[in-house]
Amino acid sequence: MRHITLKTLVIILLLVMTVPVCAAVSDPAWRKARDSYDQLQKSPRKQQLRSEWERVLVQFVRYYEQNPKGVRAGEALFMAGKTLAGRYRISRVADDAWQAVAMYDRLAKDCPDSSLADDGLLLAADLLEKTLNAPEEAWLRYQRITKLFPSGDVAGQATAKLKELDRYAPRPEAAGEAEAVSPAPVAAESGTARLTGIRFWSNPGYTRVVLDLSTPARFTTNFLKADPVENLPPRLFFDITPATLDPVLKAPTIVDDGLLRRIRTGVPENGKVRVVLDLVSIGQHKVFPLNDPYRIIIDISGEKVAELKALEPSLQAPPPSVGTPPPSPTITAAQPQAKPQPEPQPEPQPAPQPAPQPAPRGDAIAKILDTVEPAPPPVIPARTAVSGLRRIVVDAGHGGKDPGAIGPNGVREKDVNLAIARKLAGKLRETLACDVVLTRDSDIYLPLEERTAIANKVGADLFISIHANAAINRQAYGIETYYLNFSKNDRAVAVAARENGTSIKEVGDLELILFDLMANSKINESSLLAAEIQKSLVEKLGERYDDVRDLGVRQGPFYVLLGATMPSVLVETAFISHTREEQRLNSRTFQEHSATAIALAVKNFALSHKLIASR
């Protein structure tokens, strides 16, 4: 704790608790989480139930995720860590302690300005040293305290600990990244992938989860139906081999968006990482890998359910299991375990049940009715009179480390795309008076899956991805506009392979995935929008330039359009591989005219669309 002593914090907390009107009225979600935590502290009976700990944990994590920039963001993660540590003290399951460590790590990483960030690291280090028998990991946290929070009031303690644990300091040749979240214990083994990140986006019709891996790895997809006997939800799980797990990912990721409850990880055996998605109901799911960096994309679609509080088994003791393996004896005596293999997490088995005395029925019903507050919807401007369009996402293809195609004279596609996208955004704002969001407004790398996810997240009405074409044949030139569908010819496959950054064979695999996703995409509107844009570009550029060739509207399996819930197109304005068109693409005038033509097309599309709708 920096600047405030622990004693002061206790006094502040007491004040907050004794003067409930102050904080309570202004922040009911926080008050509710705190109340739940306090009640749990007072009830030894409740403490025997994993579901009770989980219930409190979820409230703090969700509070943080809904207020990640709020004044209590750090405190929420700190309390989540304390809840996990508290659960460990009862369960003595090493994995619970690891989860607490991961939560404290996350606090320091996500909220470095919080006055609790260093305290969290200290608690994490203490658990690692005394409970988890991982002094090397503890040493790293103590070091992080002294480096990041040198003026904090636990810095002295951390410095003393560093001396005491000196023999566990990373050796110079292995040290390299002492600042890293974890020291990558066995990731050095060649061919072993490390699961380094779990990201997700909740969208109206589907949820996208991305698993980030350090290198390509094999994975299997498995589905388990709900198990009413064990009170388990339907689960989708992935076994990745050979792989290791970043300890930071040991804490479950709470999603709770009506489709997906949460994502959790485990290491069922050495070299195998398991990722489990607890679903709300059975829906469709699509899984595909993307390269560079290697990652696994999981799209779960279905009707969102106004979710009942059913994260955990109800308070009733489950009846004796029939034909299913008995719950594993996870409430066991404390056994300090050496990393990186804490407590293999069996599956299916989200939470050890201590088989407590059954709670009164009324209590259970109250829990089940305790509904989850939905996340606030994104703010969407009112429909404008001009077009009925409220928000358009313009996507400048490629960026950062991915230059896209490069012309014979060195013009880079990523720069051209960004220039046109920026101009297009300006024109759209001008002519349609609607909100325009750029997926990137600078030379940064943005994974393909994130681009449509942004469009879905901000509730866009249209998604337009700007690109420049390329072909091995340097004579090829012209304009073409794509929408998402099965490719009709080999050229479309080649273009999709290039834009996806995949092989032609992988495009074939993608088409299989596409088959099921089609129902959700706006293919008809997308084809109309593509036709408007293509027509406008050919006409407007044809008025000013010689040899403008119309290659027509085409369809193909583009990753960047996959999962878009609004009409979406990909525009190939000209061939950067063609000397004349490369020169044009590089000129401000051509960029300007292209942007004007596309904006005009969007306006025409919107007007005719509105016209159709109002008939």
Q: Residue 139 or residue 575: which is nearer to Zn ion going by CB?
A: 575
**Strand pairing class (550-556; 206-213):** unpaired
Asked whether position 318 contacts Zn ion by CB under 5 A, the answer is no
The CB-of-415 to Zn ion minimum distance in angstroms stands at 12
Cα→Cα distances 519→257, 522, 526, Å: 21, 8, 13
CB of 46 or CB of 467, closer to Zn ion: 467
Determine the interface stretch with Zn ion among 132-140, 309-317, 460-468, 589-597 (rule: CB under 5 A): 460-468
Closest CB 551 distance from Zn ion, rounded Å: 15
Q: How far is CA 267 from CA 241, 246, 376, in A?
A: 11, 11, 35
- At residue 560, the 3 state secondary structure works out as helix
Q: Which is nearer to Zn ion, 327 or 404 (CB)?
A: 404
Size of the site for Zn ion (CB under 5 A): 4
Stretch binding Zn ion (CB under 5 A), from 355-363, 399-407, 431-439, 595-603 = 399-407
Q: With CB under 5 A as the contact rule, which of the stretches 8-16, 262-270, 384-392, 395-403 interacts with Zn ion? A: 395-403
Question: By beta-carbon distance, which residue lies closest to Zn ion?
Answer: 467
Q: 41 exposed, middle or buried (CB, 10 Å; 0-12, 13-18, 19+)?
A: middle
- The span of 240-248, 359-367, 389-397, 595-603 binding Zn ion (CB under 5 A) equals 389-397
Comparison of 397 and 567: residue with beta carbon closer to Zn ion: 397
285 in contact with Zn ion (CB under 5 A): no
> Dmax over Cα atoms in the chain, in whole Å?
83
Rank residues 230 and 395 by Cβ distance to Zn ion and give the closer one. 395
Instruction: Choose the stretch contacting Zn ion; rule: CB under 5 A; options: 149-157, 253-261, 497-505, 606-614.
Output: 497-505
Least distance (Å) from Zn ion to the CB of residue 416?
10
Q: Which is nearer to Zn ion, 4 or 438 (CB)?
A: 438
**Nearer Cβ to Zn ion, position 53 or 483?**
483
Specify the residue, 98 or 558, whose C-beta has the smaller distance to Zn ion. Answer: 558
Neighbouring residues of 7: CB distance < 8 A, sequence distance ≥ 6: none
- What gap in Å lies between CA 197 and CA 191, rounded to an integer? 18
Q: Are 69 and 215 in contact (CB under 8 A)?
A: no
Judging by DSSP bridges, how do beta strands 235-241 and 218-224 pair with one another?
A: antiparallel
Positive or negative torsion for Cα 603, 609, 611, 614: negative
HSE toward the beta carbon, residue 556, CA cutoff 13 A: 27
What residues have CB less than 8 Å from 62, skipping those under 6 apart? 29, 254, 256, 372
Minimum CB separation from Zn ion for residue 394, in Å? 14
Residue 133, by phi and psi: left (phi above 0), alpha (psi -120 to 50) or beta?
left
Asked if 467 touches Zn ion (CB under 5 A), the answer is yes
Piece in contact with Zn ion (CB under 5 A), picked from 4-12, 100-108, 480-488, 494-502? 494-502
529 or 574: whose CB is closer to Zn ion? 574
Tell me whether strands 462-469 and 550-556 are parallel, antiparallel or unpaired: unpaired
Number of Cβ within 10 Å of residue 269's Cβ equals 12
Q: Give 124 or 497: the residue with its C-beta nearer to Zn ion.
A: 497
By the rule CB under 5 A, 404 interacts with Zn ion:
yes
Q: Does 556 help bind Zn ion (rule: CB under 5 A)?
A: no
Give the separation between CA 194 and CA 356, rounded to whole angstroms: 38
Residue whose C-alpha is closest to residue 329's, from 346, 309, 312, 310: 346
Minimum Å gap between C-beta 576 and Zn ion is: 9
For residue 499, the minimal CB distance to Zn ion (Å) is 5
In the complex, least distance from residue 597 CB atom to Zn ion, rounded to whole angstroms: 19
The rounded distance, in Å, linking the Cα atoms of 466 and 457 is: 19
Task: Out of 152, 327, 397, 447, name the contact with Zn ion by CB under 5 A.
Answer: 397
Q: At what angle do helices 50-66 and 28-42 cross, to 10 degrees?
A: 160
Region from 87-95, 230-238, 340-348, 492-500 binding Zn ion, contact rule CB under 5 A = 492-500
User: Which residues contribute to the site for Zn ion (CB under 5 A)?
Assistant: 397, 404, 467, 499
